[in-house]
Amino acid sequence: MNTLRTLTLAAVSAALLLAASPARAAGPAIELGLGADWLVDPRVGAFQLTLAGDNRVNQHLSWGGRVGLLLLTDPGRVGVPIDARLRGHFGAIYVEGLVGPWLVFRDGDALRFHAGVGFGLATRHLNVGLEVGYLNPTSMVGLRLAFPL
């Protein structure tokens, strides 16, 4: 009876070791992102290419930032979005808050305040989400794709 218990424990332990996935590195997480937004008034689009980095605070919380290149349509203007972010991780679901200045070149309001709330699904190879926010002087709604590096 004692031998059967030992063999069962060894088999279960071996199965768990084989099924376990490699742990993520404890260092910063970096991702390359794409974004497409609709600015409610004056009904223009915004497209972003961003690079983001996060450090884990604990299992469910990370903080970091993102910076990138911004293209506003109608008329075409370029800029630099800069955001600090706080992200909650709940399995494959994430929820984040973002705040920061966005620089828009060749515009009367070159420095614009941005704040937003995002949520989505995060996998090992792709993050997909939605963001609802405010870019002075209008609200915005957007889609986000990010590729962890």
Average pLDDT, whole number, for the chain?
A: 87
CA dist 106 and 118 (Å) reads 28
72 part of a folded domain = yes
Each residue of 19-76: pLDDT tens digit? 444 445 456 899 999 999 999 988 899 999 999 999 999 999 999 999 999 999 978 8
pTM, full prediction: 0.78
pLDDT at 16 over 50: no
3-state secondary structure of 118: strand
The whole domain housing 104 covers 29-148
Which is more confident, 5 or 37?
A: 37
18 part of a folded domain = no
63 part of a folded domain = yes
The total number of structural domains in the chain stands at 1
Q: Which stretches does DSSP call E strand in 1-149?
A: 29-39, 44-58, 61-72, 77-90, 93-104, 111-122, 127-135, 138-148
Each residue of 128-141: pLDDT tens digit? 999 999 999 999 99
Q: For the purposes of burial, counting CB atoms within 10 Å of the CB of 97, is it exposed (0-12), middle (13-18) or buried (19 or more)? A: middle
Q: What percentage of the chain exceeds 70 in pLDDT? A: 82
Give me the CATH number covering residue 140.
2.40.160.20
Q: Token match 């974004």: residue?
A: 35
What is the pLDDT at residue 131?
98
5 part of a folded domain = no
